[in-house]
Amino acid sequence: MKINTTPKLTLFHCLNSFEETTSMFDGCEAKTIKMACSSMTKDIHLLKAFEAGADAVLVLVCPNKGCRYAQGSIRAKKRVDYVKTILDDIGMDSRRLNIFNTTAKDSGSIKDIIKNTISQLETIGPNPALNHFN
């Protein structure tokens, strides 16, 4: 299914896992939410991002052993996994939500993650919770 609109991404990220540059978001609209630690990623915030119109949500966290708060990345992963089950249960396709271990210095990998997410949206389509009338 080809997307007829510009894909909308929401990125939740730890301050240490992502450094935003404009060129990272070529081909999409993006909203970024900065957090002191990825452990602050809550289930309700992930679901609200879809309700607000995101076609996909990415959570960028520090490498597991690189979190300055010790367990932040692990806590975020548990929450993402839980919300993925909810998305599948309600027919939204859990592939819309992903978590990645990144560092702010690795902007090339982050740009690839965003590009791959946009490409995947061409297959799974826009957010089915929204009415997309052309």
Q: Tell me: the pLDDT tens digits for 51-105?
A: 999 999 999 988 877 666 667 888 899 999 999 999 999 999 999 999 998 887 8
Is domain 8-67+76-124 annotated with CATH 3.40.50?
Answer: yes
Reported pTM: 0.89
Give the chain's mean pLDDT.
86
Domain boundaries, the chain: 8-67+76-124
Q: What is the pLDDT of residues 100-114, one digit of tens each?
A: 988 878 888 888 999
The angle at the Cα of 97, spanning 89 to 5, to the nearest 5 degrees, equals 100
Residue 131, φ and ψ in degrees, nearest 5: -85, 115
